């Protein structure tokens, strides 16, 4: 017996709830960081990891962080636009479980950072990995979701079979 083909549309509401749950998980941790740690503080956890409380007004790697504030609105709008587009794809009906998971992760992560930008004007970062004096830029759970979603899209693109190339 053949399994029915996957389609994201029938469970679209579930995918929206999962993306919202990822956003909420990110926000709960950020609220904890804000409530328990002074800004710019750091707690060493291992020789290669610190729990920190920093704000990033820019994008990845603090890109555009030194601008005069327009980036807050630009990145908020971009995050909302991309999230709406991803949710639309899910509603239209994706045929791939990996692409569905990618859309959920990307939306959850993007919206986690959008909430920060709207509420605080900057993104709360709390994960600081380092080796000796070299530190990877601090990031957060929403960033992990975005990178994971992008990786899932890459995996999904490698899974596709090329169209049949039969000659006429």
For 96-132, b where at least 16 C-beta lie within 10 A, e where not — what string? Answer: bebbbbbbbbbbbbbbbbbbbbeeeebbbbbbbeeee
Could you confirm whether 143 is annotated as catalytic?
yes
d(CA 7, CA 108): 20
d(CA 89, CA 64): 30
Which of these is catalytic: 26, 116, 128, 143?
143
Nearest residue to 107 via CA among 14, 16, 6? 16
Residue 44 host element (H or E): strand 42-46
Nearest residue to 121 via CA among 51, 78, 68, 80? 68
Which of these is catalytic: 26, 125, 128, 133?
125
Could you confirm whether 125 is annotated as catalytic?
yes
Beta bridge partners of 109: none
The answer to whether residues 45 and 51 touch, using CB atoms and an 8 Å cutoff, is: yes
Which residues are tagged catalytic? 125, 143
């Amino acid at each position: 017996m053949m399994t029915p083909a996957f389609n994201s549309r029938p469970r679209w509401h579930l995918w929206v709830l999962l993306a919202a749950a990822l956003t909420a998980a990110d926000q709960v941790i950020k609220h904890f960081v804000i409530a328990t740690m002074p800004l710019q503080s750091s707690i060493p956890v291992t020789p290669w990891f610190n729990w920190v409380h920093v704000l990033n007004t820019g994008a990845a790697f603090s890109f555009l962080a030194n601008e005069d504030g327009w980036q807050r609105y630009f990145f908020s709008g971009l995050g909302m636009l991309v999230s709406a587009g991803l949710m639309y794809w899910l509603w239209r009906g994706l045929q791939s479980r990996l692409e569905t998971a990618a859309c959920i992760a990307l939306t959850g992560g993007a919206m986690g950072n959008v909430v920060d930008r709207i509420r605080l004007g900057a993104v709360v970062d709390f994960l600081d990995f380092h080796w000796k004096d070299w530190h990877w830029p601090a990031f957060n759970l929403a960033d992990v979701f975005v990178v994971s979603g992008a990786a899932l899209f890459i995996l999904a693109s490698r899974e596709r079979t090329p169209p049949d190339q039969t000659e006429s």
